[in-house]
Chains A and B, each alone.
Chain A
Amino acid sequence: MKIVEQYLRAIGSKLPWKSRKDITEELRSLLIDQIEATYGEEPTEDEVKSAISEFGAPGKVAARYKGDRQVIAPGLADLYFMIMAIMAGAMLIAFTTMFIVEVLQDWPAGANLARRILIVPLNAFSAWLSGVGALTIVFIVMSRISRRTVDLEEDWKVEDLKDVQVGNKVESRLESIFSIAFLLVLIMLMNLYPSIVTLAENTFAKSGLPLGHRIVIEVFRRYVGVLTVLWAAGIVIRVLVLQKGEKGMGLLWTEIGLSVAEASLAGIMLADRNLYADTGGWIGFKVIFLIVLVVNLAEIGGGLFRIVRERIVGKETH
């Protein structure tokens, strides 16, 4: 019966590849059972068509076998949309900043200025779309992993609550959102417009304060790749904090590791003589790198202190 085979092929084309053959064969047997039971062993073509029609539309039949397939796990959906919104804001800030930098450098006027203004939201939207694509891939992977490891309906136990932080241990949501947006802006600016560093130096020099050195942009560009990786890692940590609402031991250690990497890089950048021209003192980006080094060292200390404190508190409560 050709029409039965056509119907089964239509269903099969909508089924997952790995179970397609088995389901189609089972459906063939079931459909013929039904046709024979209703119309006898030699049904007319109209009767077969009627039986197929009663069996249902191919898409609906296939959908019942596939179940509810969700691209992003329901538990991650809110976070996904929040990061999408943060990215939109960050892209707008980054491209507006770049626009201001360009305007301060070139002082465009008339049609040129109007064109540049128009390009700001277009570029921001285009960059946001690319970011959303990458974000979606990350969340699809996270959804697959979380589906395999955690079943909120079935595997949940009251004992799971023992690691949930309450009171002043709960991480600030606003701080995480701000950090993600700030790091995104940094990544965008430094990758698309590394000479913003020179512009900052020129602005500083105009203030009349003595500038001890200048950054060699060609050398600085080599560091941008490493900085991007570290900032991206920082974003991942902040996203995980947003998702969990707390920093567990794993996240604390990861954050300390990242601070060690950032402090090391700041140290290397401070020591790299090729990175600076007109070396005549510390005033300039060296001070910023030094602040980054000190802040990261403080964060390493703070993180280690927090781990030790939580271990002690943990022992006391057990």
Chain B
Amino acid sequence: MADEKLSNNLLQELKRGTLTLSVLLMSGKPTYGYSLVTELQDAGINVEQNTLYPLLRRLESQGLLQSSWDTGESRPRKYYSITDDGRITVSRLGEEWRRINRVMSRMMNEEEGK
């Protein structure tokens, strides 16, 4: 029987790679951390807040997102939006994602057909 812990670790690794692309895709308009969590969950991607919030800062430090504090609301919120470099990266990652998706689908179909 497959080790459940090992499977969970592998699943996490699989999701980690897709999370960056998901976040960049969702950052077309300025968005703040908590709203991004709910938007991702609504889209079907369950992400832990403690994984997402540091990721936003990392993507900002890599120049793929930019941020600004909005102090006009009842409390200050930090909004993130995609940069030009981020858009180029999304385009590249998206292209690769589609290719991997095609290849993986074909491989899984072949496996299921056996």
Q: How far, in Å, is B22 (CB) from chain A's closest CB?
A: 18
The answer for the CA separation of A247 and B53 in the assembled complex, in Å, is: 46
A37 surroundings in chain B (CB, below 8 A) = 34, 38
The answer for the CA separation of A37 and B32 in the assembled complex, in Å, is: 14
Contact A64 B76 (CB under 8 A): no
Question: How many B residues touch A, CB cutoff 8 Å?
Answer: 16
User: Would you give 14 A-B contacts (Cβ < 8 Å), ordered by A?
Assistant: A23-B57, A26-B33, A27-B53, A29-B75, A29-B76, A30-B33, A30-B34, A32-B75, A33-B32, A33-B33, A56-B50, A61-B50, A64-B50, A64-B53
Asked if A21 is an interface residue, CB under 8 A from chain B, the answer is no
B77 surroundings in chain A (CB, below 8 A) = 29, 33
Q: Which of A23, A29, A34 contacts B49 (CB 8 A)?
A: A34
Q: How far, in Å, is A127 (CB) from chain B's closest CB?
A: 43
Q: How far, in Å, is B64 (CB) from chain A's closest CB?
A: 15
Q: Which of A26, A32, A60, A67 contacts B53 (CB 8 A)?
A: A26
The answer for the CA separation of A26 and B34 in the assembled complex, in Å, is: 11
The count of A-to-B residue pairs whose CB atoms sit within 8 angstroms is 42
Contact B75 A65 (CB under 8 A): no
B78 surroundings in chain A (CB, below 8 A) = 25-26, 29
The answer for the CA separation of A60 and B75 in the assembled complex, in Å, is: 26
Closest 10 CB pairs of A and B: A33-B34, A64-B54, A30-B33, A65-B54, A26-B78, A29-B77, A56-B50, A64-B50, A30-B34, A61-B50
B75 surroundings in chain A (CB, below 8 A) = 29, 32
Asked if A55 is an interface residue, CB under 8 A from chain B, the answer is yes
The answer for the CA separation of A87 and B34 in the assembled complex, in Å, is: 53
**B-contact 0/1 string along A42-58, CB 8 Å cutoff:** 00000000000001100
B32 surroundings in chain A (CB, below 8 A) = 29-30, 33
Contact B34 A64 (CB under 8 A): no
Asked if B7 is an interface residue, CB under 8 A from chain A, the answer is no
B9 surroundings in chain A (CB, below 8 A) = none
The answer for the CA separation of A150 and B83 in the assembled complex, in Å, is: 26
B38 surroundings in chain A (CB, below 8 A) = 37
A64 surroundings in chain B (CB, below 8 A) = 50-51, 53-54
A contacts, CB < 8 Å to B: 23, 25-27, 29-30, 32-34, 37, 55-56, 60-61, 64-65, 67
Q: How far, in Å, is A207 (CB) from chain B's closest CB?
A: 70
Q: How far, in Å, is A182 (CB) from chain B's closest CB?
A: 46
The answer for the CA separation of A29 and B78 in the assembled complex, in Å, is: 8
B70 (CB) vs chain A CBs: closest residue:
A29
Contact A34 B34 (CB under 8 A): yes
A61 surroundings in chain B (CB, below 8 A) = 50
A56 surroundings in chain B (CB, below 8 A) = 50
Contact B57 A65 (CB under 8 A): yes
Q: In B18-62, which residues have CB < 8 Å from any A CB?
A: 32-35, 38, 49-51, 53-54, 57-58
Interface centre among B34, B50, B58 (most CB of A within 10 A): B50
Taking A37-B34, A37-B38 as contacts, is the C-beta distance between A30 and B76 under 8 angstroms? no
The answer for the CA separation of A29 and B35 in the assembled complex, in Å, is: 12
Knowing that A26-B53, A29-B78, A37-B34 are A-B contacts, what are 6 other residue pairs whose CB atoms are under 8 Å apart, sorted by A's residue number? Answer: A25-B76, A29-B75, A30-B49, A33-B32, A34-B49, A64-B53
Q: How far, in Å, is B50 (CB) from chain A's closest CB?
A: 5
B53 surroundings in chain A (CB, below 8 A) = 26-27, 30, 64-65
The answer for the CA separation of A65 and B35 in the assembled complex, in Å, is: 20
The answer for the CA separation of A22 and B54 in the assembled complex, in Å, is: 12
B49 surroundings in chain A (CB, below 8 A) = 30, 34, 55
The answer for the CA separation of A25 and B57 in the assembled complex, in Å, is: 13
A29 surroundings in chain B (CB, below 8 A) = 32-33, 75-78
The answer for the CA separation of A292 and B58 in the assembled complex, in Å, is: 56
